[in-house]
Amino acid sequence: MRIWKKLMCLALSGAMCLGLLAGCAGEADGVSLSVCVGPAPVSLDPIYAEETGDQTILAHLYENLMRVTVDVSGSPTVTGGMAKTVDQEESYDGTVTYTFRLRSAKWSDGVNVKAGDFVYAWQRLADPASRSPYAALLSVVAGYDEARAAGDMTKLQVTARNDSTLVVVLSGHYDWFLTEVCTSPATMPLRQDVLQKLKDAAEERSQRPGGEKLRWWSDPMALVCNGPYQVESYTGGASLSAVVNERYYSNQAGPQTLVFHFADTAEEARSLYDHRTVDAVWPLTEERMAELAADENWTSIPEMGTYAVLFNCGREMLGDSLVRQAVHLAIDRDALTAAAGVSALAAGGLVPPGVPEGEEDFRTAGGALLDGGGETYEERCVQARALLSEAGYDSGVSLGEMTYLYEDAGSNGAVAQLICQMWQEVLGMRVTPVGVTNRELWAALRSGEYDLAGADLIAVGNDAECFLMNWTSGSSNNVVQYTNSAYDTLMAIIANAANSTARMGCLHDAEDLLISDCVMAPLYTRGTAWEMRETLTGACRDARGWFSFASVVTRVA
C-alpha cells in the first residue's frame, strides 16, 4: 500500500477565504439577509430533501466533511468543512482509502462533533429500508452492495477510528468523491440520539387528539446543528429565520441573520423581490428569463439534469432495439424543446452542458450525439418507418396501445401531448399521455410498471460518471432494464481508471454506446438564473442546485 501526499491543509485555506471576504465589507457585520429560493420545506431530513429550497436551508444548518464556498474571484470552490485534513491511500486491490481528521467542532447544543456522527448518517443513507433517492451516492463505497443485500450496514466500509478520525474505503478511483459525495446535503452528519429524541417527540404529538402526522424535523427550531446557522423562528408556510450558530468553529463573516421567505410560484417569488421583501430570488419567471435572454451576451446557468424519454426494455415490443430506434427517430427534438420554454436547450446527449472535463466542458468536448435539427426531421421520419418495417411491423398500431407517463408539472404536459402526437402521425402508434405526481412516476419506473415515460434524469454529482453509472445491468437505478455487457465493462474500467485522460475517453465511449442502443431519448436540458441585489456579493450556487448565502457581504463600491 502506498500513501499519497496529503491533499490539503483545509483549515488555513478556508480561513483565508473567509477573511478576505470579511475584509472587503466589514460594515456588513450584523446584517440580516432575506432570500427566496422556493416554497416551504417538503423535507428537512438530509437523505430525503430533493427541493432546492430544502437543500439550501440544510446547507446552512449542517456542515459536511467538505463545503462549497466562493473564492476571492467569486467562483464556487470546495474547501474543508468538518474535515481539517484528508489523506488518501491506494491499495494494490484497486480500493482507495480516505482518512478524514475532523476539526475540533461542536454541535449547537455543545456536544462534540464526532466521526461516529458521519458513520451513522452514511449508514442510514445507504440502508435500503430508508429508500433514499440519494443512496447511490454511496455506491462508490466498498461494501455498499453487500450491506444493502444483507441489510447489515456495518458492511459499508465507513468507520470511525476514533472520535476525530473517519475512514472511508472506496471500491475504485472516483475523482468526484470529495467534491460531490462529501459536499452533498444527503451525506451531512446527524446525531443518532438527537434524531431519536426528535422522532419520539414528533410521534407523541402526532398521537394527540386531532394531531397531524409529524416528522422528526417538523419543528426546525428543535434541530441540533453543526453548521454556521441554527433556526431561530419558523412560521410554517411563510418564512424561516436562522441566526448565527454561536458554537460554529469559525467566525461568521456573512449575515448574522438569514431569513428564508417561501413562495409557491416563480411569480410569487418575483413579487417578494420587486417589493424588496427579499434581496435574492430563485427561480425567475419565464418572462424575466426571456428578458435576460434578449441580451446576446447573457447566458443561463446549466441545470444538472436532462429531460428524456425512457423506454422500458422489459416490455416485449420495446425490447427490440429496432423499435426503440424507430420511436426515437420519430421525435422532433427542436419542437419539443420549444414547447418546454425559453430556458430549454435541445439535448446533445445524456450528459448536459456544465459538467466538467478537466478545464473543459464534457458536452462541448464530446460534441452532440443527437440530431435534433428540424431541417432533417422528415428524413428521420422516413428512416423511422423503415426501421419499424424491418422489425416486422406494418405500422405502430401493431405495437398495441401504450401509455406515456410524465410528472404533471410545468411544461411537461404540453411536451407529453406533442410527443404522443408525433408518434401517432409518423408511426401510427397509439400512445396515451398520463400525468402523475413525481412520487407516482418514480414508483412506476422503479417497479417497471410503465411503457414509455418522460423524466428528469438528475445525477447525484457533477461528473459524467454520475450520469452514466445508473444504467449498468446490476444497478438498482437502472429503471429501463438495460443490459449490455460491453457497457458494464466500460463502466468497470472507468471506476478503476487512475489516468484521467483515459477515464474521460471511456466516459465518452460509454455515453455513445448508451445513446446508440436507444434505451432513452434525451430531449432537452434547461438553463436557470437567479438574482441578487447589486449591492451584495459572496453568494454562490452549487451546480446541483442549492445556494450558499453564508458569505454574503456588502459590495465595496
C-alpha cell recorded at residue 314 = 422489459
Residue reference for cell 460509454: 510
Q: What angle do CA 123, 129, 131 make, to 5 degrees?
A: 90
Provide the pLDDT for residue 309.
Answer: 98
What is the C-alpha to C-alpha distance for residues 70 and 126, in angstroms, rounded to an integer? 30
- Give the phi and the psi of residue 353 in degrees, each rounded to 5: -60, 155
Provide the pLDDT for residue 15.
Answer: 34
What is the C-alpha to C-alpha distance for residues 214 and 224, in angstroms, rounded to an integer? 17
C-alpha cell recorded at residue 348 = 446533445
What is the C-alpha to C-alpha distance for residues 19 and 15, in angstroms, rounded to an integer? 6
Residue 303, helix vs strand vs coil: strand
Residue reference for cell 440544510: 58
Q: Are 490 and 505 in contact (CB under 8 A)?
A: no
C-alpha cell recorded at residue 135 = 443512496
- Give the phi and the psi of residue 168 in degrees, each rounded to 5: -125, 125
Cα 211–chain centre separation = 34
The DSSP-derived string for 421-475 is: HHHHHHH--EEEEEEE-HHHHHHHHHHT--SEEEEEEE-SSSSHHHHHGGGSTT-
Q: In Å, what is the CA distance from 143 to each residue of 95, 150, 351, 526, 543?
A: 11, 10, 28, 36, 28
What torsion, rounded to 10 degrees, do the Cα atoms 76, 41, 459, 293 define? -60
Provide the pLDDT for residue 29.
Answer: 47
Nearest to 184 by CA among 304, 7, 350: 304
Q: Are 17 and 79 in contact (CB under 8 A)?
A: yes
Model-level pTM greater than 0.95?
no
The three state secondary structure string of 338-372 is HHHCCCEEECCCCCCCCCEECCEEHHHHHCCCCCC
Q: Are 128 and 179 in contact (CB under 8 A)?
A: no
* Side-chain half-sphere exposure of 160, counting CA atoms within 13 A: 16
Residue ranges in 477-554 assigned as alpha helix (H): 485-495, 500-516
Q: What angle do CA 65, 71, 74 make, to 5 degrees?
A: 130
**The domains spanning 2-28+45-52+65-194 and 301-528 adopt the same CATH topology:** no
- Give the phi and the psi of residue 512 in degrees, each rounded to 5: -60, -45
Burial of 329 (0-12, 13-18, 19+ CB in 10 A): buried
Sequence spans of domains, the chain: 2-28+45-52+65-194, 301-528
Cα 546–chain centre separation = 9
Give the CATH H-level superfamily of domain 2-28+45-52+65-194.
Dipeptide-binding Protein; Domain 1 (3.90.76.10)
Q: In Å, what is the CA distance from 100 to each residue of 3, 13, 31, 86, 343?
A: 14, 16, 34, 5, 40
Provide the pLDDT for residue 73.
Answer: 67
Which pLDDT tens digits describe the chain residue by residue (557 residues)?
333 333 333 333 333 333 333 333 333 345 899 999 999 999 999 999 999 999 999 999 999 999 988 776 667 788 999 999 999 999 888 899 999 999 999 999 999 999 999 999 999 999 999 999 899 999 999 999 999 999 999 999 999 999 999 999 999 989 899 999 999 999 999 999 999 999 999 999 888 887 788 999 999 999 999 999 999 999 988 999 999 999 999 887 899 999 999 999 999 999 999 999 999 999 999 999 999 999 988 989 999 999 999 999 999 999 999 999 999 999 999 999 999 988 899 999 999 999 999 889 999 999 999 976 778 899 999 999 999 999 999 999 999 999 999 999 989 999 999 999 999 999 999 999 999 999 899 999 999 999 999 999 999 899 999 999 999 998 888 999 999 999 999 999 998 888 889 999 999 999 999 999 999 999 999 999 999 999 999 899 999 999 999 999 998 76
Provide the pLDDT for residue 178.
Answer: 95
- Give the phi and the psi of residue 121 in degrees, each rounded to 5: -65, -40
Q: Are 424 and 395 in contact (CB under 8 A)?
A: no
What is the C-alpha to C-alpha distance for residues 195 and 325, in angstroms, rounded to an integer? 49
What is the architecture of the domain spanning 301-528? Roll (3.10)
b/e burial code for range 420-459 (CB count within 10 A of at least 16 → b): bebbeebbbbebebbbbeeeebbebbeeeebbbbbbbbbb
Q: Are 430 and 397 in contact (CB under 8 A)?
A: yes
Residue reference for cell 450528459: 351
b/e burial code for range 82-102 (CB count within 10 A of at least 16 → b): bbbbbbbebeeeebbbbbbbb
Provide the pLDDT for residue 30.
Answer: 56
Cα 305–chain centre separation = 8
What is the C-alpha to C-alpha distance for residues 495 and 477, in angstroms, rounded to an integer? 17
Q: Are 121 and 46 in contact (CB under 8 A)?
A: yes
Provide the pLDDT for residue 372.
Answer: 65
Provide the sign of the torsion angle of the four alpha carbons 519, 174, 528, 81, taken in this order. positive
Provide the pLDDT for residue 74.
Answer: 65
Nearest to 201 by CA among 233, 178, 182, 224: 224
